[in-house]
């Protein structure tokens, strides 16, 4: 277990808190996040990179968890954010991040998104020439200029789940290397956009550092061509994607130091040869917050049929990763954490679908109704991807800091389900 997860008197603890007490105090299901762990993760990753080069900027990939408290935690560490929507912009600014520390990403921005970037002075990662022209017009209409990067499609195969490999030649993201110079030329010719960076992201949950080194090589090649046409790069953004060891026993996840050791020499050699000194930006989501959080869920009933099911109160409405990507999350019997694993269980949620399985065929202690299960590494793309499917209000999120524990999001109620609904006139 990572250092913030421990066992005392048979109970799983997170930070300085007993998970059984937290479940009693706040109810289940419950997401519990250790703020100290996020701070530690940020320091470790940013330290590993700055050890090689001082001009590093860490942009939190806000989609991993959009709670304002998480933005504030990372803002206080000096992080900026990779933002994909007007909502993420609003949250980042509300947390005190400066517009200049954000990058507005995305392959399908609305006119309103572009106008927002112009209004706030947020740099934009432009995903197509069409978007470039729209942005130029929006900035022109406001009488200003927007700094941009283009998102490059590096055509790199990455070893991860196909749904989260974004740098493939066939992916919807980015501009193919063969078209990228023309895009920059066009930007140079326009009056209200100023190309200052390059952006790339090859995918997520990558457990090998080699694809990142390859990505940086591709970006350095683009930077070389850009120098020739007169683009002066102030940043190169290599995106996020560093994976974490969800299978603690078998995954060999690179450390941030190994990641830095793989990418930084390629980057430093490249920029030295080109005689430029751009900032290096990274956009980690999962690595910063993935392991900071457990999802606590109560066993409602146990059934032995052709196998044994532990039916719990959280399903893919609250954690969709196992269902959507066949992801593995470790589960712990939180109130019997010392007991021997004696029986194989599938931990299944309350949703009316066969695929609603949080954990398949796991050896766990003998379970009964009322027991508490902790699903580990639920911090990234956990609550963020939750839904109200089956008309279930979303659960609460709690933040811990040392001895303190507080709600960072209350549980939704049945009234929250109906609040946005409107009675149509002919049913009044
Ligand atoms: N930058 C960009 C442009 C991205 O699209 C993403 C993630 C990141 C950074 C952060 O990647 P990370 O460091 O977290 O791997 N829902 C999926 C993951 C989707 C990732 C989407 N983009 C999952 O649960 O595995």
pLDDT band at 158 (very low <50, low <70, confident <90, very high): confident
> What are the residues facing 33 on neighbouring strands?
293, 399
pLDDT of residue 138: 98
Residue 215: CB atoms within 10 A of its CB come to 25
Report which of 292, 260, 240 is spatially closest to residue 81, judged by C-alpha positions: 240
Q: Is the Cβ atom of 246 under 6 angstroms away from ligand 1? A: no
Over residues 190-223, the pLDDT tens digits come to 999 999 999 999 999 999 999 999 999 999 999 9
pLDDT band at 48 (very low <50, low <70, confident <90, very high): very high
CA dihedral 373, 379, 383, 386 (to 10 degrees): -80
pLDDT of residue 283: 98
Contact 318, 395 (CB under 8 A): yes
283 is known to lie in a ligand binding site? yes
Take residue 258 and report the two structure tokens written for it. Answer: 């190994």
Q: Is residue 278's pLDDT more than 80?
A: yes
Q: What angle do CA 179, 270, 242 make, to 5 degrees?
A: 80
Helices and strands in the chain, H and E counts: 12, 21
Distance between CA atoms of residues 142 and 117, nearest Å = 11
pLDDT of residue 164: 77
Residue 6: CB atoms within 10 A of its CB come to 14
Q: Is residue 279's pLDDT more than 90?
A: yes
Over residues 50-76, the pLDDT tens digits come to 999 999 999 999 999 999 999 999 999
pLDDT band at 313 (very low <50, low <70, confident <90, very high): very high
> What are the residues facing 295 on neighbouring strands?
31, 375
Distance linking the first and last C-alpha atoms of the chain: 56
| Å from CA of 240 to ligand 1 middle | 7
Report which of 209, 219, 210 is spatially closest to residue 269, judged by C-alpha positions: 219
Residue written as token pair 């993420």:
88
Distance between CA atoms of residues 248 and 290, nearest Å = 13
Q: Which residues of 298-328 are buried (b: 16+ CB within 10 A; e: fewer)?
A: bbeebeeeeebbbbbbbbbbbbbbbbebebb
Query: Is 200 part of the annotated catalytic residue set?
Result: no
**What mean pLDDT comes out for the span 73-96?**
98
pLDDT band at 370 (very low <50, low <70, confident <90, very high): very high
Report which of 289, 292, 295 is spatially closest to residue 26, judged by C-alpha positions: 295
Sequence-separated (6 or more) residues with CB below 8 Å from residue 33: 65, 70, 289, 292, 293, 379, 397, 398, 399, 400, 408
Contact 198, 149 (CB under 8 A): yes
Q: Is the Cβ atom of 325 under 6 angstroms away from ligand 1? A: yes
Contact 80, 60 (CB under 8 A): yes
Which letter does DSSP use for residue 191 in this model? S
pLDDT of residue 157: 83
Q: Is residue 155's pLDDT more than 80?
A: yes
Distance between CA atoms of residues 265 and 52, nearest Å = 8
| Å from CA of 40 to ligand 1 middle | 20
137 is known to lie in a ligand binding site? no
Q: Is the Cβ atom of 381 under 6 angstroms away from ligand 1? A: yes
**ipTM score:** 0.99
Q: Is the Cβ atom of 377 under 6 angstroms away from ligand 1? A: no
Give residue 158's Cα distance to chain centre: 18
Give yes or no for a cis peptide into 29 (omega within 30° of 0). Answer: yes
pLDDT band at 173 (very low <50, low <70, confident <90, very high): very high
| Å from CA of 136 to ligand 1 middle | 28
| Å from CA of 31 to ligand 1 middle | 20
Distance between CA atoms of residues 268 and 356, nearest Å = 47
Q: Is residue 171's pLDDT more than 90?
A: no
pLDDT of residue 207: 97
381 is known to lie in a ligand binding site? yes
Take residue 280 and report the two structure tokens written for it. Answer: 């290096």
Looking at 142-202, list the stretches that DSSP marks H as alpha helix, in order from N- to C-terminal side: 177-189
pLDDT of residue 19: 98
Backbone angles phi, psi at 296, to 5 degrees: -95, 130
Q: Is residue 417's pLDDT more than 90?
A: yes
Ligand 1: which atom is nearest the Cα of residue 204?
15
Take residue 220 and report the two structure tokens written for it. Answer: 């350095």
pLDDT of residue 285: 98
Contact 146, 192 (CB under 8 A): yes
Over residues 291-309, the pLDDT tens digits come to 999 999 999 999 999 999 9
Give residue 427's Cα distance to chain centre: 42
184 is known to lie in a ligand binding site? no
| Å from CA of 202 to ligand 1 middle | 9
Give residue 210's Cα distance to chain centre: 21
Check 189, 191, 249, 352 and give the catalytic one. 352
pLDDT band at 162 (very low <50, low <70, confident <90, very high): confident
pLDDT of residue 55: 98
pLDDT above 70: percentage of residues in the chain: 100
Q: Is residue 169's pLDDT more than 90?
A: no
Across the chain, mean pLDDT equals 97
241 is known to lie in a ligand binding site? yes
Ligand 1, pocket-test mutation among 198, 254, 285, 327, most atoms within 8 A of CB? 285
pLDDT above 90: percentage of residues in the chain: 94
Ligand 1, pocket-test mutation among 45, 58, 80, 241, most atoms within 8 A of CB? 241
Report which of 183, 159, 154 is spatially closest to residue 171, judged by C-alpha positions: 154
pLDDT band at 276 (very low <50, low <70, confident <90, very high): very high
Q: Is the Cβ atom of 125 under 6 angstroms away from ligand 1? A: no
Q: Which residues of 391-405 are buried (b: 16+ CB within 10 A; e: fewer)?
A: ebebbbbbbbbeeeb
Ligand 1: which atom is nearest the Cα of residue 283?
9
Over residues 6-25, the pLDDT tens digits come to 999 999 999 999 999 999 99
């Amino acid at each position: 277990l990572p250092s913030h997860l421990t066992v005392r008197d048979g109970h799983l603890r997170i930070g300085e808190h007993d998970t059984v007490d937290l479940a009693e105090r706040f109810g289940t299901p419950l997401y519990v996040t250790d703020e100290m762990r996020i701070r530690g993760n940020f320091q470790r990753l940013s330290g590993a990179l700055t050890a090689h080069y001082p001009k590093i900027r860490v942009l939190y990939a806000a989609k991993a968890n959009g709670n304002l408290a998480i933005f504030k935690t990372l803002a206080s560490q000096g992080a900026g954010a990779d933002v994909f929507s007007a909502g993420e912009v609003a949250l980042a600014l509300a947390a005190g991040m400066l517009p200049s520390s954000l990058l507005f990403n995305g392959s399908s921005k609305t006119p309103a998104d572009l106008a927002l970037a112009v209004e706030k002075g947020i740099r934009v990662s432009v995903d197509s020439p069409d978007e470039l022209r729209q942005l130029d017009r929006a900035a022109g209409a406001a009488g200003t200029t927007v700094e941009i990067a283009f998102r490059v499609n590096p055509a790199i195969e990455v070893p991860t789940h196909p749904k989260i490999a974004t740098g493939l030649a066939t992916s919807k993201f980015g501009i193919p290397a063969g078209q990228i110079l023309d895009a920059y030329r066009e930007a140079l010719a326009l009056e209200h956009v100023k190309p200052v960076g390059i952006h790339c992201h090859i995918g997520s949950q990558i457990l090998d550092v080699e694809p990142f080194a390859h990505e940086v090589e591709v970006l350095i090649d683009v930077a070389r061509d850009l120098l020739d046409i007169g683009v002066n790069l102030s940043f190169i953004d290599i995106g996020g994607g560093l994976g974490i060891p969800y299978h603690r026993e078998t995954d060999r996840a690179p450390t941030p130091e190994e990641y830095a050791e793989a990418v930084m020499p390629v980057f430093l050699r490249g920029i030295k040869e080109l005689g430029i000194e751009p900032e290096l930006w990274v956009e980690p989501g999962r690595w910063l917050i993935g392991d900071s959080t457990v999802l606590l869920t109560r066993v409602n009933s146990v059934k032995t049929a052709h196998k044994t099911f532990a039916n719990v109160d959280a399903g893919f409405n609250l954690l969709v990763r196992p269902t959507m990507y066949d992801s593995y999350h470790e589960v712990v019997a939180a109130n019997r954490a010392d007991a021997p694993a004696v029986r194989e269980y599938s931990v299944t949620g309350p949703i009316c679908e066969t695929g609603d399985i949080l954990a398949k065929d796991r050896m766990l202690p003998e379970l009964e109704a009322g027991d508490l299960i902790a699903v580990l590494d639920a911090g990234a793309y956990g609550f963020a991807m939750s839904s109200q499917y089956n008309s279930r209000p979303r659960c609460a999120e709690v933040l811990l800091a040392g001895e303190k524990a507080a709600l960072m999001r209350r549980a939704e109620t049945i009234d929250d389900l109906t609040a946005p609904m409107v009675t149509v006139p002919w049913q009044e």
